[in-house]
Amino acid sequence: MSRTVDALYRGIALAVARGFASLGFVRSVYARRSVACGEAALPRSDIDLTVVIEPSASLADEAERLLALARRLRALRRIVPVLGPPEVATLAELDLWYRAPWFPGSPERDRGWLRLWGDEVVRPPVDAAPADAWRQDLPWFFWAWQGLPDHVRARRVRTCCNLVLDMLNVALLGEGAVHGPQRRAALVDAWAKRTTEAAQLEQVRAALRGRVPARPDALLRWLYGQSLRIAHQLPDAVSYDVARSAPLRVATRVPFAYVPRTYLLVDPDDARAVDAGFDEMRTTKRTFLTTPRTLARYFRERNPWEWWCVDDGAARDALPVPDDDAVLRAIRYYLHRVALRRFGLAIGTGADRRDTVAPQYAQARLWLERRLVASSLERLLEAWREGHGAWPYAEVRGSDEFFARAYPALCREVGELAARVGVAGAAAKSAP
């Protein structure tokens, strides 16, 4: 059955690739993740693509091409609803996307790289020693960590299994136990060496094949408990010590939508506290169950801005303040047109972040100019008006407006910020 499903998914992905290719400026189309590595499950797997395009003669020409691509994507998605927003890059941009340690491309995140149409493109290697290369995956690790609670609440068992396995892959890289992206079966086998709970792992294997337990709550509880330990035991690069005065409940407003969130902090080995926290998290939206050390690491490696949005000053002071290196890494992470294009192509999907894009770049500028971090959208807009006058970004109602109006202005902002933080290669290689 799995071979049939893989063949079906790859056939659909090939048809989609040809749909993009007919635009005229597409050089290659590659599949990533489950379709590329032969682990698709019908109908739950998404189709994740990388579209390699020719360089544009001007920014206006580039925006026009992307507008055409966005319209083609919408048309294809009506036929193939599991088609995700693709990553779109020139060859030079793709090289930077994977090589630079502050950008989010990595083989582990992709899991696979399968040519569907066009010229052969070799995925660039990471420019880091093997002992350090795994750290490039930490933002990806925390992407999975951040998405897990919502999927637990929705009881999406297979997705939860995949997210925990993504986390485990990064942890094993950090330990030196594996090298490079691992297939799901290999990760479950590695997991089996770390636990004696074989029955749960058999349920994980079944869920990955699309056979979800009729009563999944016990498995979800076990999976989340495992994720707590994986995150808590990640190898250290810097200290993530949290003061003993840290409360067991931390309220924040997550930039850049500034949506309220509550973190429940537990010792991962305290079974009673983990169970009570899991029960509250499962029934309460915007609630996370984690450990103090993991929360401190998340603030440093994924979203340092959120530290300044912790509601209670004493709770904030009990957690390590993200240093300048952490903030600069967060700024550099999005200084690339590949990220901007994905934002625009995700409009109208579950990954729609149209309202957070402009505040994100504005906050980067405010920090670079004044070392100011806003704790709310109102404060961010106020600080912007104080230093720069009127807010320059109009509301975007869809992907057409994004590429026709917002994209050129955001590209110029990315270029200016890149030059200021020593990422001149991003501006130069992306420039028309």
Q: Phi, psi at residue 250, to the nearest 5°?
A: -125, 120
Coil vs helix vs strand at 318: helix
pLDDT at 187: 94
Please state which of the ranges 60-69, 80-89, 190-199 shows the lowest mean pLDDT: 190-199
Mean pLDDT is lowest, of 77-81, 118-122, 178-182, 251-255, for: 178-182
**H-helix or E-strand spanning residue 14:** helix 2-21
Instruction: Give the model's pLDDT for residue 285.
Output: 95
**Per-residue pLDDT reduced to its tens digit, 320-347:** 999 999 999 999 988 989 999 999 999 9
Q: Kindly state the percentage of the chain with pLDDT values over 70.
A: 96
The hierarchical CATH code for the domain 2-129 is 3.30.460
Between the alpha carbon of residue 203 and those of residues 44, 104, 170, 198, 224, the distances in Å are: 17, 31, 22, 9, 14
pLDDT of residue 84: 92
Task: Return the pLDDT at 425.
Answer: 52
Would you say 220 and 155 are in contact if contact means Cβ atoms under 8 Å apart? Answer: yes
Backbone phi, psi, residue 116, to 5°: -100, -40
> Closest Cα to residue 356, out of 340, 333, 337?
340
Q: What percent of the chain has pLDDT over 90?
A: 73
Please check the confidence at residue 427 and state whether its pLDDT lies above 70: no
Which residues touch 167 (CB under 8 Å, ≥6 apart)?
141, 144, 145, 227, 230, 231
Q: What is the pLDDT of residue 132?
A: 76
pLDDT at residue number 109: 87
pLDDT number for residue 431? 40
User: Which of 16-20, 102-106, 142-146, 282-286 is least confident?
Assistant: 102-106
Q: Do the beta carbons of residue 373 and residue 274 sit within 8 Å?
A: no
Q: Is the pLDDT of residue 133 over 90?
A: no
pLDDT at 118: 97
- Non-local (6+) Cβ contacts of 14 within 8 A are 116, 117
Three-state secondary structure readout of 35-74: HHHCCCCCCCCCEEEEEEECCCCCHHHHHHHHHHHHHHHH
Q: For residue 245, is pLDDT > 80? A: no
* Residues 166-184 pLDDT 10s: 999 999 999 989 888 899 9
pLDDT given for residue 426 in this prediction: 52
Quick check: 292 pLDDT over 50?
yes
pLDDT digit string, tens, across residues 224-238 = 999 999 999 998 877
CATH 3.30.460 location in the chain: 2-129
Higher pLDDT, 429 or 170: 170
DSSP per position, 261-274: EEEEE--TT-HHHH
Phi/psi of residue 114, nearest 5 degrees: -120, 120
pLDDT of residue 17: 97
Looking at the predicted structure, is the pLDDT value of residue 57 above 80?
yes
pLDDT band for 21, please (50, 70, 90 cuts): very high
The position carrying tokens 């998405």 is 147
Least reliable range by pLDDT among 26-30, 61-65, 239-243, 291-295: 239-243
| Strand ranges across the sheet with 287-290 | 249-254, 259-265, 287-290
**Would residue 232 be called left, alpha or beta, if left means φ above 0 and alpha means ψ between -120 and 50 degrees?**
alpha
Cross-sheet strand order for the sheet of 26-32: 87-89, 48-53, 26-32, 113-118
Q: Which residue type, as a one-letter code, is found at position 282?
A: R
What lies within 8 Å, CB to CB, of 351 at 6+ separation is 84, 85
> Which pLDDT value is given to residue 432?
39
- Position 331 scores a pLDDT of 94
Say whether pLDDT at 1 is over 60: no
Burial of 199 (0-12, 13-18, 19+ CB in 10 A): exposed
> Chain-wide mean pLDDT for the chain?
91
Report the C-alpha gap between 45 and 42 in whole angstroms.
6
pLDDT at residue number 394 = 84
Structure tokens at 136: 């490039």
**Average confidence (pLDDT) over 192-196:** 87
Mean pLDDT of the 281-302 span: 95
